[in-house]
Chain A
Amino acid sequence: MINLVVALPAEARPLIAHYRLTDKTTHGGFRIYRNAGMSLIISGPGKVAAAAATALLAACNSAAAQAAWLNIGIAGHATHATGQSLLAHRVTDHATGKSWYPPQLFDLATTTTSLLTVDRPESSYHHGLAYDMEASGYYAVATRFSSAELVQCFKVVSDNREHSTASVTAESCVQLITRALDKIDLLLDALSALAQEHDNWHAAPAGLEQLTRQWHFTVSQQHQLAELARRWKVLVPNQPLWLDKLDTRKKAAEVLQCLQQHLDSLAPGALQATQEPGV
């Protein structure tokens, strides 16, 4: 699952069209657009609104274990030309001074930047910083739900020392995001592949649900069962979690004991060569 958080309808329009986010709902004044694998929420301007929208989207999509998150929007920058795409390697909240450092795992062509989230539009641009009004609120909340590697901020420069914020219109905003769609595509492909891989590692084996329907497991026993299910997936790959002799077991504790004994007898005698992918 990919979650997009944008501040303005003008930033959202090209994304809704490009990703065909046709399913529209409204929750607590926030508009959410969806397709099967992606959700976009329009937060409105400001970090508090961004934080609220991010939390709402996370709650609405709680089934996704580790979603990829992307905050997309326009930003000011002292020196970069308008239209320049930027990925935040540091997000700092101007009011509190707190910083976050989104890990940059991908070798993408997009330039990275320090991003300062301010409470009011900024007209005096300090060298080397991008300015926005949402990222710190979004980032602080999104990393409550997903690992930091999967939470990123993508900005397109809309104003700088030569082109003030006064020159930014809804139409120019649409154009800026539209021109950045190729780069957004690349980033989202990389992020969603990473999120998918993470989910695959943790996917429960088939058959687990049937066990929990058939026997009542206490909370403690559910943890034990989850651990046995993990071992099952490794030691008995591609087979549902089930043993014929479980049929005669009446209590959950007996089921756990039976599975444990079976798995202990299968302890891996020969480790297989594997390799973690790089980027």
Chain B
Amino acid sequence: MFNIIYIERQVADHPRTREICTRFPHATRVECDRYGEVFNPNAQNFRLQKRNPSLILAEKHKGRVLQAPEGYGLGGRRNYYFSHMLNCLYDCRYCFLQGMYRSAHYVLYVNYEDFENDMGTILAEADNESCWFFSGYDCDSLAMEPVSAFVQHFLPFFSRHPQANIELRTKSTQIRGLLKMAPIPNAVIAFSFTPEEIYHALEHKVPTLERRLQAMLQLQQAGWQLGLRFDPLIYQHAYQAQYRGLFQRLFSQLDSEQLHSVSLGTFRLPHSYFRNIVQLYPDEPLFAGAFSTDNGMVSYPQALEQEMTAFCTRELLQHIPESLLFPCTLAA
């Protein structure tokens, strides 16, 4: 899977580093002082690197758990996000990570315990008020589970802290670890979907819609709380039929009464990320359409955005109560 594993010198002897390295005995190990030496230089091309990214094992020193932007959340008042990893196994053409990072290498922060300590501090300050911790912003929460053992490590923490809620956002079917655990009520496994046509055009290396749906059914049967994420909504001429079909397919099999939440948001990117992505993929039809820029954000023209959100909201409300629906109202 990896030809090369870059390792920060200070985590070279970390037990998690050693464990991960034993999984890849043929990978060449290259030491570096700080992961930024490998990850951050200017002269890199995300698109070229995406063909064969390497793994970087590093320590996250600060900014481990951050306050989520206003408008982001599932009804809670205290919302935070954290990333144990940068970059994703998948290659979705609409993903903002392509525009945010210069490198497609996967950075895995091995100091999980420090993340937990930071969450513990936040919980102590919250004085028993419920907090939400969102994972899956800079990476897919489950896709790298066999390597990272992220869920295996973090869920016991949430099991011990019932006032802390976690969202694991994913397009992965790596659910073996979850199925081996007893479900906890304060974890939501949130799966992202686009219609089949968009999946084929834009979501490279992602498990098929059917496999993800089957994974959800297994988790639901095991008692895990599930979420559905339709973000970003992508426009095509036939988007109404496509999204209607997608919703029917999902809700005909999932038990919507057991769903925790459903959220949606249209395609939008900060202008600087959009510019970088277009530079990387000038030949991508998704970026050849008409977009508008407003307040530094690139999105579909407002009328189209409103039309898509209204249509999908109407369609979703035929399957779920309004209390489960959380439209995303903030910038990406």
Contacts and interface: CB of A to CB of B under 8 A. Distances in A.
Interface stretch (A16-24, A155-163, A213-221, A261-269): A261-269
B91 A276 contact: yes
A111 B202 CA distance: 35
Contacts of B238: 269-270
A271 B198 contact: yes
Contacts of B237: 269-270
| Most A CB within 10 A of own CB, among B30, B198, B287 | B30
| Most A CB within 10 A of own CB, among B43, B281, B287 | B43
Contacts of B6: 101
Given A101-B32, A112-B4, A234-B288, A201 B37 contact: no
A112 B30 CA distance: 10
B41 interface: yes
Interface string B48-62: 111110100000000
A49 B101 CA distance: 33
Contacts of B255: none
Q: List 7 A-B pairs, minimum CB-CB distance, nearest first.
A: A269-B237, A271-B201, A234-B288, A267-B289, A143-B43, A147-B45, A273-B200
| Most B CB within 10 A of own CB, among A106, A148, A271, A279 | A271
B97 to A, nearest CB: 15
A104 B290 contact: no
Contacts of B54: 103-104
Given A202-B282, A263-B290, 13 more contacts: A143-B41, A148-B43, A233-B283, A234-B282, A234-B284, A235-B288, A264-B290, A267-B290, A269-B237, A269-B238, A271-B201, A271-B286, A276-B50
A275 B49 contact: no
Contacts of B18: none
Interface string A71-107: 0000000000000000001100000000111011111
Interface of B: 3-4, 6, 28, 30, 32-33, 37-38, 41, 43-45, 47-52, 54, 91, 103, 105, 197-198, 200-202, 204, 234, 236-238, 278, 281-290
Nearest to A145: B43
A266 to B, nearest CB: 8
A149 B28 contact: no
| Most B CB within 10 A of own CB, among A231, A268, A277 | A268
Contacts of A103: 44, 48-49, 54, 103, 105
Interface in A146-204: 146-151, 194, 198, 201-202
A224 interface: no
A234 B200 CA distance: 18
20 contacts: A89-B30, A101-B32, A101-B38, A103-B44, A103-B49, A105-B51, A105-B52, A107-B3, A112-B28, A114-B30, A143-B41, A147-B43, A201-B282, A231-B288, A234-B282, A267-B288, A268-B286, A270-B238, A271-B202, A276-B50
Nearest to A114: B30
A238 interface: no
Nearest to B45: A147
A273 B201 contact: yes
Contacts of B284: 234, 274
Nearest to A200: B283
Contacts of B234: 271
A99 to B, nearest CB: 6
Contact of A90 (B30, B278, B287): B30
Given A99-B32, A198-B48, A104 B3 contact: yes
Given A101-B32, A147-B45, A201-B283, A272 B201 contact: yes
A29 interface: no
B44 A149 contact: yes
A270 B200 CA distance: 11
Contacts of B198: 271
Contacts of A201: 281-283
